A and B are shown apart, each in its own frame.
Chain A
Amino acid sequence: MDRMPAWADAVLVPLFSIVLAAILSALVILAIGENPVEAFSLMVDGALMRSAGWGYTLYYTTNFIFTGLAVAVAFHAKMFNIGGEGQAAIGGLGVALICLFIPWPHWSLALIGATLGAAAFGAAWAFIPAYLQAKRGSHIVITTIMFNFIAAAVLNYVLVNLLRPAGAMDPATEIFPQATHLPSFQDMFAGGGSLFRGAPANITFFVAVLACVAVWLLIWRTRLGYEIRAFGHSETATRYAGISTVRITVVAMLISGGLAGLMAINTTMGEAERLVMNATEGAGFIGIAVALMGRSHPFGVFLAALLFGFLYQGGAELALWTDIPRELITVIQALVILFTGALDNMVRMPLESVFGTLRRRRSPKPAPTTPSE
């Protein structure tokens, strides 16, 4: 068992893993009779070489940051929140109600209101599973899966029967009032030019970045975060310390649900400017992959979200200009998750022995030490 330097573990392992995933993806592309080089350059071109491409990449990234953070916070408390999808959907309902029924004078106030609303609704949707887990031991994985389905039904009912403008075909609310429209990257950075033209990335991205910082502070700098982590590692020890397990379970899930709910600001208020059905589009599930890949650390979540944002946007470009089915992107995502997340030791083990050999060569006799002395 050889150890390698921390930088190698943090940089080389993911790098090699992604390269492996890319090689396998290229083989898949070859197998369906397309040109992998062309495909990859299209993706990079479309996602990273144009400002609008970035605008899309960052838009998706924003979604994944929120859902990724949501899953990550729950993970720290050793809970597996599969309910991000439902919490985000209900968060959308919160955003819609706040935007539609409160006359906001300015978007900035509306953003604050919607942030609170989205978080409150998302948290509320996580509350019952959390409470049942804490009080009745009902497994949070089952209950959150169930609440995803229930959320879809609620949203379907509300959009078709209650919030849809009369006569409209779309099961969606009407467009939110002008005053609630959030500034997009184009509004913020283009200065009348065509920078970020048409891209949906908006000020919510910065809310997401703030959320990363806030979650980092929460988990590693506050008492609550300390208690959440302690609970996640050892329930018996938290009881010994006098930390209420019920409180931590519920609070961690409320925060998790609230973060998932925040995603709705981006999709609903920032992009669509109305609430549509299925606005979450599976981002809740992507959040699981993002959190796992990001090792539940906000910075890792940010990077993983960026990677998935790139894949989403690159995939869209691919679909636009080639006949490659959109499912290719799903396959690439799967390979990236597999190699960076689950097969990372496949890369790490050989690397470790390489570093081990290097070290032995430098110092022929390993210095005998025992750490307990």
Chain B
Amino acid sequence: MAAPEQTRPAIELKGISKAFGPVQANKDISIRVMPGTIHGIIGENGAGKSTLMSILYGFYKADAGEIFINGTHTEIPDSQAAIKAGIGMVFQHFKLVQNFTVLENVILGAEDGGLLKPSLAKARGVLKHLAEEYELSVDPDAKIEDLSVGHQQRVEILKALYREADILILDEPTGVLTPAEADHLFRILEGLKREGKTIILITHKLREIMEITDTVSVMRRGEMTATVKTAETTPEQLAELMVGRKVLLRVDKVPAQPGRPVLEVENLRHVDESGVERLKGVSLDVRAGEILGIAGVSGNGQSELLEVLGGYADATGTVRVNGQEIPLSGPGSDGRARRHGGIAHVPEDRQHEGLIMPFYAWENVGFGYHDDPRFNRGLLMDNAALQADATDKMKRYDVRPPNPWLPASSFSGGNQQKIVLAREIERDPEVLLVGQPTRGVDIGAIEFIHQEIVRLRDSGKAILLVSVELDEILSLSDRIAVMFDGTIMGERLPDETDQTELGMLMAGMTGATQSRSQGAGHA
């Protein structure tokens, strides 16, 4: 499996340092990766993983240090040089042109000659070949913006392979993938490894590290703290190396004590801007003191369900909160009205919906609640009150750094998420809608976020959780509903189901295990 010891490392970094202004993102980092292996890198948010890989790919320039590729000292001043050295990278945030086709994205920068036609034709052939070889099929003529995230990621991988990369870097590739997609990705990676390619994988998920990597490095605060053989370590040990303390890897919660239904949804239908029906008669209810988890492959209506309930997409049907029907379109159906009605919402996309990135943290802590009388004095806003409130919440939610005068953009993903959670949970809502609460968040923060959600449940509130992480759904929910193609395929209790069964439902297959316990969790 691992290459013999005497071969030269595919990648060797020596003494890499990089500072962004006063922030030392990488400190004297050295690492060797053998050819034909999968090497994992883990670390908290902001530990410097992405920075290190961006340096290897020539996207950033290191302040100091040397890079050796296959044993030869290689200068990588820009991505062109990295590509030449046989390095391909799949960034955490994809670098794709949204309104281009797959083919166009693949050939961009790697065209043969001045005219497109021959390049496109050649790429079409190569893509077909790659698709067969690595299970990497994507419609070459589809526009990127029409593709699911999983497919977009395949395009990124195809881009690298098209450039004949021998070294592939993947930065948090599974953060946005469904379990099925993630499994698929790992099959692809295994295939690539068999072909002798070298892979660096950055992830927050220890399960993935354990499952697929040969060796793993741990980063903390810009430094490389350890490199170990995967076979010789445990998740608990890695977590401790990462965070510097013991981390609870499972959610710790007592059984739910569900009360009366707080949120009742009946026959909810929603048609999006392009005329596609996204919700096809969804019915569900969430009781006081319980977490209802919605599992599903993304794009099956979960986002729309949150948008409708959160008040920024129109729908038909009936929704009652504490028995009171709320309007689903027209006046009184916007997000503001929902908040007044006791529905709080942690949106799936914190950067585009949950936060105003250039706003200060304290401004963001008031966002959506800025018309609250507590934050206003007559015509003017009471900024002092907002700031005090933000300082307090940031402290309680352990947002780092706890400085309300930093813009949201300068917090890491996990800390951004904490700001949103603090804002929504601390309003003490009747219903909390949560979308992808831990996407891209490190395990230390995940632990904290899960605890907070459970704490809210235990105080008797109704929580609707949407997540593509089946692990998260299974460990956090008191009851699980699976969505497929705009409908609820069925409900399960977490103790009575498993990933396989949920996966079948998520794929739209009801089959033999038909509805083992509809409503059983209500008891």
Contact = CB atoms under 8 A, between A and B. Distances in A.
Direct contact between the two chains A and B in their complex (CB within 8 A):
yes
Interface of A: 1-3, 217, 221-223, 226-227, 229-230, 233-234, 236-237, 239-244, 366-373
A314 B410 CA distance: 45
Interface string B23-50: 1110100000000000000001111100
Interface of B: 19-25, 27, 44-48, 221-222, 310-312, 334-339, 345, 347, 349, 352-359, 363, 367-368, 370-371, 376, 379-381, 383, 400-401, 406, 410-412, 414-415
Contacts of A236: 349, 352-353
DSSP class of B's interface residues: helix, strand, loop or mixed?
Answer: loop
B352 A242 contact: no
Contacts of A226: 363, 370, 381
A237 B367 contact: yes
Given A223-B370, A242-B336, A242-B368, A372 B353 contact: no
Nearest to B312: A239
21 contacts: A2-B21, A3-B22, A217-B380, A223-B371, A229-B356, A234-B352, A237-B353, A239-B312, A240-B310, A242-B334, A242-B335, A242-B368, A243-B334, A368-B24, A368-B221, A369-B24, A370-B23, A370-B25, A371-B400, A372-B46, A372-B400
A246 to B, nearest CB: 11
Contacts of B357: 233-234
B19 A372 contact: no
Given A230-B359, A372-B46, A241 B367 contact: yes
A240 B376 contact: no
Given A3-B21, A223-B376, A373-B221, A242 B337 contact: yes
A233 B359 contact: yes
B381 A221 contact: yes
Contacts of A243: 334-336
Nearest to B411: A372
A369 B352 CA distance: 28
In this complex, the member of B312, B356, B371, B376 whose beta carbon has the largest number of chain A beta carbons within 10 angstroms is B356
Given A221-B380, A230-B367, 15 more contacts: A1-B21, A221-B383, A222-B379, A223-B371, A227-B370, A237-B352, A237-B367, A240-B354, A242-B337, A242-B339, A244-B334, A366-B19, A368-B27, A372-B415, A373-B400
In this complex, the member of B355, B367, B376 whose beta carbon has the largest number of chain A beta carbons within 10 angstroms is B367
A245 to B, nearest CB: 10
Contacts of B311: 242
A295 to B, nearest CB: 13
A242 B411 CA distance: 25
Nearest to B358: A233
A16 B98 CA distance: 41
Given A234-B352, A237-B354, A242-B337, A372 B383 contact: no
B30 to A, nearest CB: 17
Contacts of A241: 335-336, 367-368
Contacts of B415: 372
B353 A240 contact: yes
B225 to A, nearest CB: 14
